[in-house]
Amino acid sequence: MAGKKNHTLLKLVLLLLLVAVIGMGGWLGLSFKRAESLLTEASASYDQIKLNAEKGDYAQALVDARTAATLTSQAADELDGVQWDLASKLPVLGVDVSTMRSISSIAGTLSDDAVIPVLDAWDELSGSGVLVDGQLDASQVQAKAGQVVQLAQEVSDAAAVVDTCREQADALQTSHFDEVNAWADELRSTIGSASEVVDSLASVADVVLGVSSAFSALTGA
């Protein structure tokens, strides 16, 4: 009789474990889909940043950059959930969790510490009368010398952040899941787009600094 009870108890424990495993799998699956959707949307926003920067519409590019930052932040929050904390402790799967979290972290750094600051600096400068009908107003450039220097510094800092993000992305561990490896490839492409935006603003900053220096030489300021 006691043996039968023990057997029944064992079956109950195994059943509960099976339910827990299935529930955990479903929980992770739904969370994975949410994170994937957010990162995909963020990547699309980066495509728009590049397109708008190429058109010279840096104000809209800044809007897109803030959208990308929000989406990557939401993805990071999703991957910081307790379900992923538990998954990170599991053999093999822990590597995948680490890679996923690194991808969202790098994407967040790219937007928060590189793209947004440099676009913000340009937006502030261009909105202060430096540009008139698309042309530089030399007198305004000189009057806004502090903002010009700030733009140049932001561009330099952003370029360094982009380089760091690229190194981190290249060092990502290969996941056991094709979807996660696709995230990594998408991230590397996004970093390339961000680099082009920063480079384009570096060229603009060089021109503005050149005008500022020339004006200073002419006026003896």
Q: Where are the alpha helices (DSSP H) in 55-173?
A: 58-79, 82-87, 93-110, 116-125, 138-143, 145-170
pLDDT at position 216 over 90: no
Give the SS3 label for residue 135: strand
For the chain, what percent of residues have pLDDT higher than 90? 33
Element (H, E) at 38: helix 2-54
pLDDT at position 106 over 90: yes
pLDDT tier at 142, thresholds 50, 70, 90:
low
pLDDT tier at 20, thresholds 50, 70, 90:
very low
Q: Which two tokens stand for residue 205?
A: 């900053």
pLDDT at position 75 over 60: yes
pLDDT tens for 169-187 read 999 999 888 988 999 999 9
Q: Between 3 and 157, where is the model more confident?
A: 157
